[in-house]
C-alpha cells in the first residue's frame, strides 16, 4: 500500500478539531519533529480570495512575531498544492466557550483567565499588534491549566490599523460601541472585549444575547448590560468592578492599557488559581473505537421501551380477542338453552265462591306457511 500524502512533505493529517468562518483546524502529526500539531487550512475557494489570503498570512506573521506562553505558537507555514496552511501548537481542542456552556465559571478561574489573556495582549500591544477578535472561542484551554489566545487572523499593527471604508471586522457581540460606529480599532477595543468575555464567564450568559444584528448593535451602543453584581451578587465586588469598568460604553472610563487592568486584577483579594482549569470532556466519538467491531450501536433503553410497548399492545389485543370469544360463546349457549326450555303452563287463580282453578290450554299448533304473503 502507498503511504498517505503528507502535507508539506511532513504533516500527517487526521480529524477535524474545529471550524471557523473561513478555515478549519485539523489534528495532525509532525513526522519530522515527532509531535502532535494543529493545522489551519482555508476552505476551498477562500484560498484564492485576496482578502482572506491577506488575513491568513497576517495571522502567521503576527503570531510568529510573538513569543509568549499565553499565545498559541505558530511553528510553520507554507503552501501545499497551492493551498496555504499554518502549523500551530496542538492544544486540547477545548475553549473557554465550551467551559461557559456548562454554566458560570468560578470567579477564581475567571480571575486567572483574565490575567493570562491580558498578559498575552500586553505583549501583543507592546509589539504593536492588536488582536481585534477577542472572544471565548479564541481563548483555548491548555492541558496544563493555562489559557492561550488564538486566531490573530484579524490582527493589525497599531500604526496601520485602519480598514477599508465602512468595513468592520470581528465578532459583533464583543465589539466596542466605537468600532460599531466605524472608528478604527485601538487598544481600548481589545480591553473592552476582555471585559465582555469576563462578564460572560462570570454570569454564564452572553452580555448581549440579541440575535438580530440591528438589535445587537443598538444594545451595545445604547443599552449596556446590568452590572455583574446584579446577576451574581456572590462575586467579589472588586473583580466585578474591574469587569464592569472594562466594558463600559464610555471609552475614557475604561482602562488605558492591558498593564493597568492587570495591576487592578493583582489587587483582587484571594490567591489566583495555580492548578489546572477544568477542561470540559470532549464529546463522544461519532463512530465506535477502531479496535471494536464495526457495528451501529442502538441506544438500548430506547429499544427496550419500544419492545415493551409492542409486547403490551400484542398481549392486550390477544386478551381482548379471547374475552370476546368467551363472551360470545357464553351468549350463544345461554340463548340456545333458553329457547329449548319451554315455559310451564300458565295457571291463573280466580277468587270466587267456591274458588275455581283453570288451566289455560296450550295454543294450537299452526302449520308453517310456504311462500310470501
Q: Check if the beta carbon of residue 101 is closer than 8 Å to that of residue 55.
A: no
**Measuring CA to CA, which residue among 150, 149, 142 is closest to residue 276?**
142
Question: Using H for helix, E for strand and C for coil, what is the string for 87-114?
Answer: EEECCCCCEHHHHHCCCCCCHHHHHHHH
133, 151, 236, 244: the active-site residue: 133
Q: List Cα–Cα distances, 70 to 119, 144, 149, in angstroms.
A: 7, 12, 6
Phi and psi (nearest 5°) for 14?
A: -130, -140
Contact 147, 123 (CB under 8 A): no
Closest CA to 154 of 61, 261, 47: 61
Can you read off the three cell numbers belonging to residue 357?
A: 282453578
Catalytic, 267? Answer no
**CA 149 vs CA 84, 123, 326, 328: distances in Å:** 22, 12, 78, 81
Residues recognised as catalytic: 133
Amino acid at each position: 500500500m502507498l503511504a498517505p500524502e503528507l502535507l508539506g512533505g511532513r504533516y500527517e493529517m487526521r480529524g477535524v478539531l474545529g471550524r471557523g468562518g473561513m478555515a478549519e483546524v485539523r489534528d495532525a502529526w509532525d513526522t519530522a519533529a515527532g509531535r502532535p500539531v494543529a493545522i489551519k487550512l482555508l476552505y476551498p475557494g477562500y484560498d484564492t480570495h485576496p482578502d482572506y489570503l491577506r488575513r491568513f498570512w497576517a495571522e502567521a506573521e503576527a503570531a510568529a512575531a510573538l513569543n509568549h506562553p499565553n499565545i498559541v505558537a505558530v511553528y510553520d507555514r507554507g503552501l501545499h498544492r497551492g493551498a496555504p496552511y499554518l502549523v500551530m501548537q496542538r492544544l486540547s481542542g477545548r475553549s473557554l466557550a465550551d467551559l461557559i456552556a456548562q454554566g458560570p465559571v468560578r470567579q477564581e478561574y475567571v480571575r486567572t483567565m483574565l490575567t493570562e489573556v491580558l498578559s498575552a495582549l500586553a505583549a501583543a500591544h507592546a509589539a504593536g499588534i492588536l488582536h481585534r477578535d477577542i472572544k471565548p472561542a479564541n481563548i483555548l484551554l491548555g492541558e496544563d491549566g493555562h489559557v492561550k489566545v488564538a486566531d490573530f487572523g484579524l490582527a493589525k499593527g497599531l500604526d496601520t490599523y485602519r480598514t477599508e471604508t465602512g468595513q468592520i471586522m470581528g465578532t459583533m457581540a464583543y465589539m466596542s460601541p466605537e468600532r460599531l460606529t466605524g472608528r478604527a480599532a485601538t487598544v481600548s477595543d481589545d480591553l473592552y472585549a476582555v471585559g465582555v468575555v469576563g462578564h460572560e464567564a462570570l454570569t454564564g450568559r452572553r452580555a448581549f444575547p440579541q440575535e438580530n444584528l440591528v438589535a445587537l448593535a443598538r444594545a451595545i451602543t445604547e443599552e449596556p448590560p446590568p452590572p455583574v453584581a446584579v446577576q451574581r451578587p456572590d462575586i467579589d465586588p472588586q473583580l466585578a468592578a474591574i469587569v464592569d469598568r472594562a466594558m463600559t460604553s464610555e471609552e475614557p472610563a475604561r482602562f488605558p492599557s492591558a498593564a493597568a487592568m492587570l495591576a487592578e486584577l493583582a489587587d483582587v483579594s484571594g490567591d489566583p488559581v495555580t492548578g489546572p482549569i477544568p477542561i470540559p470532556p470532549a464529546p463522544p466519538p461519532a463512530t465506535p473505537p477502531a479496535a471494536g467491531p464495526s457495528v451501529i450501536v442502538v441506544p438500548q433503553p430506547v429499544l427496550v421501551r419500544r419492545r415493551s410497548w409492542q409486547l403490551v399492545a400484542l398481549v392486550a389485543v390477544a386478551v381482548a380477542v379471547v374475552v370476546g370469544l368467551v363472551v360470545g360463546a357464553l351468549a350463544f349457549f345461554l340463548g340456545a338453552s333458553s329457547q329449548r326450555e319451554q315455559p310451564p303452563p300458565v295457571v291463573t287463580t280466580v277468587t270466587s265462591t267456591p274458588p275455581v282453578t283453570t288451566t289455560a290450554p296450550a295454543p294450537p299448533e299452526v302449520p308453517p306457511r310456504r311462500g310470501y304473503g
